[in-house]
Structure 1
Amino acid sequence: MTDDAEKLYGLGDELNREARLLADASRGVGPQTAEDPSGTIRVTRGEDGTPSFAINEGWRSSYRPSELAAAVIQTLARLADVETEVWSERLEEGLGENRGSIPTPPVSGSAAARLQAALEAEPDRGAALTRTLENVLSMLDDMTANIDETFKVAVQRGNTTYSSASLARNVVVEVTVGGDLIDVSFSESWLSRSSGAQITRELNEAIADARGSAAAVLGQKPFEGTPLAKYQRFLDDPDSFIDEIRGRG
């Protein structure tokens, strides 16, 4: 293996170790719980990231109906602070652990090696190489011409928020495309006659529904719905990229 390849894989190995460290720290956070200062509102984040709230029956002694929504969001922010503190502790612990390297993959198994082997098997290598280079340049030109529009679509998708209401429409929540809760509103007339259990049930119901809508979009493939959607298959199947640039796609 060349020195450049060794350096490349060494860099990749270091990045992989850091990625594993961050991932392990995140998994180590586990379900955490936070409360508002009065103990009226409690929130716990599940393993899938969904916040689950519990409003106690004496909530009116701490909040007016017009104040409850803001208190819910503030309590969620307290949970985020708790999670960040735990994550930092786990990360610091992980820094002291010995994390082994991942074995360097053989160059023969790379897409570049497979392409080289395919070109060498061509009866007219020169013509095959010229055709491949022309196809690569054509593809790069197409990507360059469409990258701005693709980026625009991606930004718009990332900025999209999703709203959902409980079945009785007494609670409306808004989440980001990543499922993070950013806003809550209640029907104040409904709050004035509702128990903590009722509020808890409808709030959690609305959050779960909104996160489901966001997850459907987040699950889309990166280029889906963009001018570069046709290149998505290359991410899913690298061999199809080799066939494409060889003119066999």
Structure 2
Amino acid sequence: MRSRLLRTLPILLFSVFLAGCQFNPFTKKSGIQITSHPDANLVINGKSVSKTPFYDENLSPGLATIQMTAIDSGQSWETKINLVSGTLTTVHREFGSTPDKSHSYTLSFEKLSNNKDSSVNIISLPANATVSIDGRPAGFTPVTADIAPGPHVFSFTAPGYQDKIVNAAVQTGYRLVLNLTMATMEIVPTPTPTPIATPSAAPKPTGTTTITPLPKQATSSAALTKPYIEIVSPSMKWARVRETPGLNGTELAKVNHGDIFPYKENETA
């Protein structure tokens, strides 16, 4: 009995070892491709690695933090991705004049339980963006759908945002996760119309008497029969003619020094 147990024990230990290998296999590596426009300095998981474009297919699977800083403007951007063994994850950033005028997308993969299936999960910012796949409407984001493996064209539109097209390939046995951030549309200020001068309406008469100097009259007394009145105002060169005598009378006209007028009547103030 003891000898039989000794013969069986190594077999049991070897079986446990094999079971452990199945749960802890040698980990496959994962790949990443990072691009940007313009070029940017690149930090992965807090470590400065290079600048874009960047490619590495020897990374450990798991969550990774990607940080980019545009070389020309200093504008920075950060995202988190999940690296899956045996797949290539793509990250792209298009730096605009401001962060809201910039767009980006990531392409990653999730393993499906059925290795013969293939699908896509589309996420966007803003949500409810209109999606077309290969020119056919696919609804509004977020969208999850079965899709044939191979290359596809994904088109996005949203009010107030720039249209975007992303080309990506779907693999058999995996779900493609497309995460897009759209850039807001450039606002072009509407020019202010230049006022056009138009003729104004003629003013309505107000009843106010317009006072204008009378034309120069004949200065020769021989031209008029006496009695007549001659305007004498050498200092002012003109005088006011009022409707009634006195300063309170309504002014009717202005006459020039030396003008001669026929005498009509006399009224005392």
> TM bucket by the smaller chain?
under 0.3
Q: What's the TM-score, normalizing by structure 1? A: 0.20
- In terms of fraction of residues, the more helix-rich structure is 1
Name which structure has the greater RCO, CA cutoff 8 Å, separation 6+: 1
Q: What's the TM-score, normalizing by structure 2? A: 0.19
